[in-house]
Structure 1
Amino acid sequence: MGNREDLLEGAKRCLYDKGYFRTTARDIATEAGVSLAAIGYHYGTKDALLNEAVVVAMQEWAEDLRRVLAEPGDFATTWGKVIDSFATARPLWVIQFELVAHMARMPEMREAFAKAGEQARLGLAELFGSDSERVGAVVQTLVAGLASQWLVDPDAAPSSEDLLEGLRFLTGPAPEPPGA
């Protein structure tokens, strides 16, 4: 690997270890085994490097999920695998939520997340047997909501069976209003 690739790998390791906002340029250079000046030469700024590292890490998680979900399974099995992926990718989910909270002041990251979100919706739709971005958007909403609940309290987050029960209720016939 060259300095550029070493920096990207070093930035990902720092992100997982320290998070986005606590990672310094010196941390990355040290982790990558390159000079501090290499960041400016290859990426322009530390933030540009960290932004790319976040996007690459998200793509890697998506590929890992794609591999895990390649084996067919029923709804509960499939969503159980999605939920299990939160444990292995916990630092990445923490970073994503950390960044979402600061998006208003980070237009370049908001733009990168929006672009990655579009790709994620299409990829998730495909993983779940659809070519509809709308289906992907619903799956993405479920994944992000589950991840946020899992990060706060994994034991209280909905299981795949809970999710199925809730979706069946929401998509079933409309219940009669009370007193009707």
Structure 2
Amino acid sequence: MGNREKLLVAARECLERKGYTRTTARDVTDAAGVSLAAIGYHFGSTETLLNTALHQAMEEWGDRLETALEGAADEASSPLERFELIWAQIFASFEADRPLWAALSEMLVQAQHVPGLRESLTASMAEGRSGLAEIFGTAGPSGDPRSARLVGSLCQALLTGLMMQWLIDPEQRPTSGDLTEALRLLLGLN
């Protein structure tokens, strides 16, 4: 494994252990067994390294979610049943990837103060909306781009809000069934 890969692995470990704002360049290089200069050479800055590591972790999360959902809902599943099934898988990932979600929430706050980070997150959020629209079945070759953007945006808003609830008050978090029931109530479905 080269220094670049060692730095990415170490950055991810540090993000999970210490969080986004408390991870230092020295933490990462000590964990990777490389010099401080390696960060500058491969990434330009510690911030870019941490952002890259977190972005990779989120991509891996999306891939794991897609794999978990493959074939989980059959053709006879209603849209509400599919909605509940998908959120059940997402909630399972919240617990499994709690350090990742905590680091991401720190990163989101930092984006308000770091223009480069904000730009990077803007691009990542667009990818996320597209991926969520695909997961929820509104994207694809014949999918309407506007509908996919709207569904992806709603799911992203739900994901972010639910992630924060999960991190702050896990005892009061809703279940996927609770979300589905709330949607039924909002839409007047019985």
What is the TM-score normalised by the length of structure 2? 0.86
* Mapping of residues 23-42 of structure 1, within 5 Å: 23-42=23-42
- Residue 67 of structure 1 is matched in structure 2 by 67
User: Is residue 2:126 matched to residue 1:118?
Assistant: yes
Structure 2's unaligned 5+ residue stretches are 74-80, 140-147
Gap regions ≥5 residues in structure 1: 174-180
**1:177 aligns to what?**
none
Instruction: Report how far residue 156 of structure 1 moved.
Output: 0.9
The superposition leaves residues 39-81 of structure 1 with CA deviations (integer Å, 9 ceiling, x where unpaired) of 1111111111111111111111111111111232333332211
Partner of 2:103: 95
User: Corresponding residue for 2:44?
Assistant: 44
Aligned pairs for 1:81-160 (under 5 A) are 81-131=89-139, 132-160=148-176
RMSD (Å) for aligned C-alpha atoms: 1.4
Matched to 1:81, the amino acid is Q
Spell out, residue by residue over 1:8-54, the C-alpha distance to the aligned partner (whole angstroms, 9 max, x if none): 11111111111111111111111112111111111111111111111
Whether 1:79 and 2:87 are equivalent positions in the alignment is yes
| Number of positions where the alignment pairs a residue of Structure 1 with one of Structure 2 | 173
Q: Take 1:150 and 1:38, find their aligned partners in 2: how far apart are those partners?
A: 36
Can you list the C-alpha shifts for 1:89-147, whole angstroms capped at 9, x where unaligned? Answer: 11111111112222221111111111011011111111111111211111111111111
Task: Give 1:158 deviation, angstroms.
Answer: 0.8
Query: After alignment, is 83-92 or 98-107 more displaced?
Result: 98-107
Equivalent position amino acid for 1:33 in 2: G
Contact 1:29 1:36 in 2 (8 A): yes
Give the TM-score taking structure 1 as reference length: 0.90
Contact conserved, 2:20 with 2:104, CA < 8 A, in 1? no
How far the C-alpha of 1:161 sits from its partner, in A, is: 1.1
* Aligned partners of 2:6 and 2:32 also within 8 Å: yes
1:176 matched to which residue of 2? none
Find the partner of 2:188 among 161, 172, 178: 172
- Equivalent residues of 1:93, 1:147 under 8 A apart: yes
Give 4+ residue runs of structure 1 displaced > 3 Å after superposition.
Answer: none
Residue 22 of structure 1 corresponds to which residue in structure 2? 22
**TM-fit CA distance, 1:164:** 0.7
Aligned: 1:8 with 2:8: yes
Give the Cα separation in 1 of the matches to 2:110 and 2:179. 29
Give yes or no for contact 1:4–1:42 (8 Å, CA) kept in 2. Answer: yes
Contact 1:7 1:29 in 2 (8 A): yes
